[in-house]
Structure 1
Amino acid sequence: MRIKKIIAGMIIGVAACSGASLALAADSSRAAYSAAQDAADAAYKADRAKCDALSGNGKDVCVKEAKATREHSKQDAKVEYKKTPKALASARKSEADADYAVAREKCDSLAGNAKDVCLKQAKAGQSDAIANADKQLDISKAKADAREERADARYKVALAKCDALAGAAKDDCASAAKAELNK
């Protein structure tokens, strides 16, 4: 009987220690997450200050890049803290949106067809990144929709490139895009 009480006491002691260890791990994980968030904000302020020396579209691009870098850092910290597939997919989508904002800003320095192609490539890149995030969740419907979105985005880019051509060359280009992308 006495041995059973000793063993029970040891089990309770081990359980109490593990619970305390888990609580300490959670606290240190939360602290690391908070520190990473603060570091991302500090890096953003430093990067943003560098942009003040620039002007025009160069400054706008610099600011968007600083914001995108901050978003990437914060989302990586969130993924490390939560450690779930849903958090990872959400983070990658937020990062895709930030990268898309940078790409759009870079396109503003262009004009005409080159700008149209640039914007469609930026949107295609965003769609591809979002599709990859959805794929990480392994949701079959999201996979099918994502493939369709990527194909549509690539098709739009191909057609935009064809717009620079005229006559038979334009028709041949559009036909080739349809054939290549199964549209």
Structure 2
Amino acid sequence: MKHARHLIAIVAAGMLATSAMAMTSAEHKAAKDQISADYKANKAKCDALTANAKDICMKEAKGAENVAKADLEARYKPSDKNTYKVAEARADADYAVAKEKCDDLSGDAKNVCQKDAKAAHVTAKENAKVARAQAKPADTAAKKEANVAEVKQEATAEMREAQYKAAKERCDTMSGDAKDKCVADAKRMYGQ
């Protein structure tokens, strides 16, 4: 929940900042060139690494580039859609890095790591959808509240499903009665 409030605050601050100061075409081009240069520099740093550390570094570099591009577009053409794309790019970048870090593991630990990464990804994306719904104007306050409530309900269902899958994967590392109890607890906890 703490992360959700933090994400909502960031998105709201981003929307306020982007609506106050749009960029010129020249500033946009210069910023795009800087993003490209930063990506190349970050990618070059990865060349010194090997194996999965290099793969993780490359995912981090690409993720940073994608987030920077989305942020640039949100500043250049401020809208709730572009602000949402920034949050989505962050979620996707974090997920790509987390999945890559799981490659250092094997067996059940790797499976659990991947499910946890997916649950975090789903949570971040759903929180971004809720923030977008809260920021989106509506004809009346009642319509806005109804839309936000609907988006929250859908987001909660998606997050619970992802969290349940991650919990179930952790249960799969157990056996016998412990596994059965773990699965039953996960079903109860995540309403499955």
Q: TM (normalized to structure 1)?
A: 0.80
Residue of structure 2 equivalent to 1:150:
159
Residue of structure 2 equivalent to 1:19:
none
User: Taking every aligned residue pair, what percent have the same amino acid on both sides?
Assistant: 44
Q: Distance in 1 between matches of 2:173 and 2:130?
A: 34
Q: Distance in 2 between matches of 1:97 and 1:144?
A: 22
> Are residues 1:102 and 2:111 paired?
no
Alpha-carbon distance, 1:31 to partner = 2.3
Q: Distance in 2 between matches of 1:64 and 1:73?
A: 14
Residue of structure 1 equivalent to 2:64:
69
Higher-RCO chain (CA-CA 8 Å, sequence separation at least 6): 2
Alpha-carbon distance, 1:115 to partner = 0.6
> Are residues 1:36 and 2:31 paired?
yes
Alpha-carbon distance, 1:82 to partner = 1.5
Structure with larger Rg: 1
Instruction: Name whichever of 91-100 and 156-165 sits farther off.
Output: 91-100
1:85–1:136 contact (8 Å) kept in structure 2: no
Instruction: Name whichever of 51-60 and 143-152 sits farther off.
Output: 143-152
**Cα-Cα RMSD:** 1.7
Q: Distance in 2 between matches of 1:100 and 1:162?
A: 22
Counting matched residue pairs gives: 158
* One-letter amino acid of the structure 2 residue matched with residue 129 of structure 1: A
**In the TM superposition, what are the counterparts of 1:1-183 in structure 2 within 5 Å?**
28-138=23-133, 139-140=147-148, 141-183=150-192
Q: Distance in 1 between matches of 2:30 and 2:131?
A: 27
Residue-by-residue CA offset, 1:89-125 (whole Å, 9 max, x unaligned): 1222123222211111111111111111111111111
